Amino acid sequence: MDMNDSFYSSFALNEQIAKEVFDILPEGGPVMVIMDTNRNCLPSDPEQFSKLNIDESFLAELCSKIDDGVEPVVTQANDSSIVSTQLVAANTNCGYIFIILDQYSPESTLANIDIIEILLNQINLIAKLIKENHTLSELQKKHNTQCLNGQAILN
């Protein structure tokens, strides 16, 4: 993995995923948080996330459980249920996804876990597609550069 790939994976990819996913969340719906491997948080609604009073160190503890192989992690914090899993794109660990359901009991969360897992899988699919698009774009740039430099071999 080169330096550009590493930078892209840890920073820009999460921001692109957040932009795509957060834009389609319904108003008043769940709060979603994307946390990178350095524990930097991108909440879908920073104001609402702040009101939920969920400490980022609590989310970091959930990350440790995920790293230990527990997925998805389903837990309760204050009056909110939290479902979290790893965020992976094309063999790149991008961090973690948290879906925070305010005023959900553990029972109601578990009753809807299949739908929540589908959402988490779709977010990972979006991440994979964004990553593959970036890779294809980089390959196309390299190809175009080689053609401009006269390095293309004509058949």
How is 99-111 classified by DSSP, letter by letter?
EEEET--HHHHHH
Sheet (strand 73-77) strand order = 41-43, 31-35, 92-102, 80-89, 73-77
Rounded to whole angstroms, how far apart are CA atoms 24 and 47?
Answer: 17
Q: 50 with 39: CB under 8 angstroms? A: no
Percent of the chain with pLDDT over 90: 52
Q: What is the pLDDT of residue 3?
A: 39
Mean pLDDT rounded to a whole number for the chain: 85
Confidence of residue 92 (pLDDT cuts 50, 70, 90): confident
- The class (CATH top level) of 3-130 is alpha beta
Q: What is the pLDDT of residue 7?
A: 45
**28 vs 76, which has greater pLDDT?**
76
